[in-house]
Amino acid sequence: MPQQVVEAHGVRLRPFRADDTADVVAGCADPLTQRFIPALPSPYTETDARFWIDAGAPAAWTGGGAAYAVADPATDRLLGAVGLSNPVPARGQAEIGYWVVPAARGRGVASAATRALSEQAFATGTLRLELLTHAENGPSQRAALAAGFRHEGVRRSAGPGRDGGREDLLVWVRLADDPPGPAARLLPDLPDGVLTDQVVALRRLAPDDAEMMYRLHSRPEVVANQAPPVPPEWAAIERRCRLAESGWLTGDIARLLITDVASGEPVGSCGLSFTDVASGEASVGYALLPAWRGQGYATRAVRLLATWAFGPAGIARLTAGTVPDNVASHRVLERVGFQREALQRSRLPGLDGTRLDDLTFALLPAELR
């Protein structure tokens, strides 16, 4: 790739300069940058920044990659960095990465810079770009999607952790002939971040919800209605909450907290995941804390979730699997319009090698009550 100034999508890509030193330190010493780019020196000092400007960035170009400063076109002030690494010429492939100074975050700088460099790379012969993100780095995943990168999978133990261990990384890919614009998502964001009927509200699960989720999903009656009926570990629940945004962005699962609008108190949780993307079928599940049962909260939550699924999410059919003797759950589903559809014998794993029947309910858009 030729080393030249690129101006596109509201940003300027240019070589690093000595007067960028303070801004490089501000970006690379920031805790979030340090967390998600563990290869950076810690602490990050002016000496490290000067080494990058004088030697590191030029070496990236010499090695067949690229290292651009991302600047504001109006002031030429450094906003971040974007570059190409790990080129594989035989495959026409390279890896793209970026960081943004804290003061410039939330303005679309990362996605704009990624789009600009991607277009430059494709114009000069690159055929495939990979972008790797930490599973907990939701903003970086959103930047990838906005720049047209699609989620492709998980690269296990692909990145070094700052503690000396290894970490999985999510893989996002854009091809030279992919359509322009943001990548389509299976699970769109909730309108204004919430679904509500003014009695209950649903919002995306968050890391701070771990204690409540563990308390809910450890209850014996909740455990008994899942397969296999094994209580969850705290670490698994905490990880579920930390990765809720990532699961939404990759299209794996939408996990939501149910709250009471009047008090703001958590009521329970619900979720939706695709069972067959090609046919537009997804499955729902839910659970409530004891104090809120029998008051219609589960029915309201499932109705809100189904309305969103058939509307913005574009899902054509919803299913819900239940334990056959969970009558309370059956009534919730029937009040929303679900119909009993099949009893699948010994479909699910139980305890000690046993098997459990699965009673399946299904809902079509015209049946939603």
**Which tens digits make up the pLDDT trace of 177-224?**
999 999 999 999 999 999 999 999 999 999 999 999 999 999 999 998
User: Which segments within 66-139 are labelled E, that is strand?
Assistant: 66-71, 78-88, 93-100, 128-134
pLDDT confidence of residue 194: 97
In 3-state terms the chain splits into helix, strand, coil percentages (rounded to 5) of 35, 30, 35
| Residue range 149-177: mean pLDDT, rounded | 93
Total domains in the chain come to: 2
Is position 105 within any domain? yes
Residues 215 and 363 in one domain: yes
Same domain as 298, residue 217: yes
On average, the pLDDT of the chain sits at: 95
Q: Which of 114-128, 216-230, 310-324 is the least confident region?
A: 216-230
- Residue % of the chain over a pLDDT of 90: 91
Task: Write down the number of H helices and E strands in the chain.
Answer: 12, 16
Average pLDDT over residues 36-58: 95
| Strand 11-14 to 66-71 pairing | antiparallel
CATH of the domain at 285: 3.40.630.30
- pLDDT at residue number 116: 97
Angle of the 138-146 helix axis to the 109-123 helix axis, nearest 10: 50
User: Do 228 and 121 belong to one domain?
Assistant: no
Q: What does the block give as tokens for 169?
A: 């990384």
- Over range 306-316, report the average pLDDT: 97
Query: pLDDT exceeding 70 applies to what percent of the chain?
Result: 100
pLDDT tens across 274-309, in order?
Answer: 999 999 999 999 999 999 999 999 999 999 999 999
Structural domain including 318 reads 191-367
* pLDDT, tens digit, 9 for 90 and up, residues 332-355: 999 999 999 999 999 888 888 899
The pLDDT assigned to 118 comes to 97
pTM above 0.85, yes or no: yes
66 and 143 belong to one structural domain: yes
- Give the pLDDT of residue 225: 86
Last residue of a domain, one of 129, 145, 175: 175
Query: Of the residues 148, 175, 202, which one is the last residue of a structural domain?
Result: 175
Q: Determine the Cα angle at 345 with ends 335 and 362, to 5°.
A: 25
- Would 252 be classed as within a structural domain? yes
Domain final residue pick, 144, 175, 206: 175
Q: Determine the pLDDT at residue 100.
A: 97
